């Protein structure tokens, strides 16, 4: 809901508890002019932040980490209220988020700092270096499903690289976004390099055209395409972390009980609202019945409201219900739950579907809820082939004792977990991102730091060389010598 703010200038919107409907807070819908002013403020602050250098920014970012850690109970409670997470999911998210902030602060100099590179024989008189310089101002448009960990994967790495950031959180989690900005201001006074912009899709669209040097967006493929189109006229580069339809492949020699536990965790943690969550499972025929029976047994023990929270975005419940209905209409079986499980604001208990046709919505489209499709395949090879038959290519998982590495290498995704699920987002030195409809660009790790920088190459002449061909003072004999040298060097 929206209303005009006290000054009569900007409309405001309310953030609501997805379970009770209680108002969490009221926030302005920043318009285009306001967003441009915030980008300009960030740019004015970016110079001093960049001049601090990696060694100067490191203690400030670590101070931010300490402030967030000290106020951990506060943000966990806010995530439970505004985002609907159960406490365990909120704590796990914060653990990963703080780990990434720490890693970015401590490793930015090593990854991005100036280093010498080989000049090659023909340019042996040149001292060559490369370093990675910040863009300036990064616009970060965050999601609601992981309102701290996901945007911090861009914010922390962008700040560590020397950029200022204008952060637009989801309209479903603005209070969490404000908490991030407030804790940064507490930890790093005097550097206005993390500026909050609140609002709905109009505010996000304004940020795309407000003069930021790069946009980092996390959300649906459809919205990502609009972000890309908005940034195209100004040639503003983008990082797009979009959806997924991640699959788990279970080989005949897998630890079936462990695979079941991981499949259900990957499907139901955060109420299934994970872009890299497990939505499809392909089980080799020799262990299919055992896997399905154990999956049914364990799924019936999980409870909405206790083991996982509500569906945060009300409209997603319609998508979840449509996917279940379509799967059943096409001949699939609901072995746990069914359409009746979708009772707002929860999906009550996991919904496990079996024998679902590969052309159904529940297999082809992102469900984003605690729904798991379990299908039989002849063997793990067929499972990988079906997993790859998707427009998405974010993450995946393989459970196998033999050939696990080979199967993982064959999966056309940006990330794979072996004998586990969702392990890669918590490893700070690994890049996170996908391919195809899952977007492009990377957060986390060295690739994530470089994502928010521009490589800068410098050569410095150390001495003159007898064969000086890059000058009009050269003679015909110089070019003859060059030709003989090039032929010799490239004929070996």
- Selecting among 241, 279, 366, 451, the annotated active-site residue is 241
Encoding tokens for residue 473? Answer: 């003072």
Give the CA distances from residue 466 to residues 111, 364, 410, in Å, rounded to whole numbers and listed in that order.
Answer: 37, 65, 52
CB-side neighbour CA atoms (13 Å) of 282: 25
340 in active site: no
Pairwise CA distance, residues 62 & 68, whole Å: 10
Does 241 qualify as catalytic in the annotation? yes
Q: Which of 275, 279, 365, 451 is catalytic?
A: 275
SS (H, E, C) the chain: CEEECCCCCCEEEEEECCCCCCEEEEEECCCHHHHHHHHHHHHHHHHHHHHCHHHHHHHHHHHHHHHHHHCHHHHHHHHHHHHCCCHHHHHHHHHHHHHHHHHHHHHHHHHHCCEEECCCCCCCCEEEEEEEEECCEEEEECCCCCCCHHHHHHHHHHHHCCCEEEEECCCCCHHHHHHHHHHHHHHCCCCCCEEECCCCHHHHHHHHCCCCCEEEEECCHHHHHHHHHHHCCCCCCEEEECCCCEEEEECCCCCHHHHHHHHHHHHHHHHHCCCCCEEEEEEEHHHHHHHHHHHHHHHCCCCECCCECCCCCHHHHHHHHHHHHHHHHCCCEEEECCHHHEECCEECCCEEEECCCCCCHHHHCCCCCCEEEEEEECCHHHHHHHHHCCCEECCEEEECCCCHHHHHHHCCCCCCEECCCCCHHHCCCCCECCEECCEECCECHHHHHHHCEEEEEEEEECCCCCCCCCCCCCCHHHHHHHHHHHHHHCCC
Residues known to be catalytic: 241, 275
């Amino acid at each position: 809901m929206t209303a005009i703010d006290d000054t009569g200038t900007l409309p405001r919107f309310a953030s609501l508890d997805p379970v009770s409907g209680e108002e969490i807070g009221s926030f302005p819908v920043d318009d285009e002019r306001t967003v441009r002013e915030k980008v300009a403020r960030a740019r004015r602050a970016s110079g001093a932040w960049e001049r601090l250098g990696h060694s100067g920014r490191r203690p400030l970012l670590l101070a931010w980490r300490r402030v967030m850690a000290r106020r951990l109970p506060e943000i966990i409670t806010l995530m439970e209220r505004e985002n609907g997470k159960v406490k365990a999911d909120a704590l796990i998210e914060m653990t990963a988020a703080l780990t990434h902030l720490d890693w970015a602060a401590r490793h930015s100099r090593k990854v991005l700092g100036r280093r010498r590179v080989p000049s090659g024989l023909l340019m042996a008189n040149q001292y060559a270096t490369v370093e990675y310089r910040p863009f300036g101002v990064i616009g970060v448009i965050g999601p609601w499903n992981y309102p701290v960990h996901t945007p911090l994967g861009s914010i922390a790495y962008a700040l560590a690289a020397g950029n200022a950031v204008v952060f637009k959180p989801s309209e479903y989690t603005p209070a969490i976004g404000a908490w991030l900005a407030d804790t940064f201001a507490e930890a790093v006074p005097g550097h206005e390099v993390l500026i909050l912009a609140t609002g709905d899709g109009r505010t996000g669209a304004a940020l795309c055209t407000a003069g930021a040097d790069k946009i980092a967006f996390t959300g649906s493929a459809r919205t990502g395409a609009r972000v890309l189109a908005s940034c195209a006229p100004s040639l503003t580069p983008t990082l797009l972390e979009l959806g997924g339809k991640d699959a788990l492949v279970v080989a005949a020699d897998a630890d079936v009980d462990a695979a079941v536990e991981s499949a259900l965790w990957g499907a139901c943690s955060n109420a299934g609202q994970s872009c890299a969550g497990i939505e499809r499972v392909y089980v080799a025929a020799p262990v299919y019945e055992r896997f399905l029976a154990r999956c049914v047994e364990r799924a019936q023990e999980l409870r909405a409201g206790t083991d996982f929270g509500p569906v945060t975005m009300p409209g997603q419940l319609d998508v979840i219900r449509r996917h279940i209905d379509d799967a059943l209409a096409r001949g699939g079986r609901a072995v746990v739950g069914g359409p009746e499980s979708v009772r707002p604001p929860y999906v009550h208990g996991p919904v496990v579907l079996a024998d679902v046709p590969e052309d159904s919505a529940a297999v082809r489209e992102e469900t984003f809820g605690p729904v798991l499709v379990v299908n039989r395949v002849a063997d793990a090879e067929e499972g990988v082939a079906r997993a790859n038959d998707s427009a998405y290519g974010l993450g995946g998982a393989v459970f196998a004792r033999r050939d696990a590495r080979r199967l993982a290498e064959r999966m056309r995704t940006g990330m794979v977990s072996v004998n586990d699920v969702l392990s890669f987002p918590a490893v700070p030195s690994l890049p996170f991102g996908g391919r195809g409809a899952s977007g492009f660009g990377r957060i986390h790790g060295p690739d994530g730091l470089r994502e928010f920088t521009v490589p800068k190459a410098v050569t410095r002449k150390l001495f003159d060389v007898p064969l000086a061909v890059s000058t009009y003072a050269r003679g015909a004999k110089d070019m003859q010598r060059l030709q003989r040298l090039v032929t010799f060097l490239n004929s070996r």
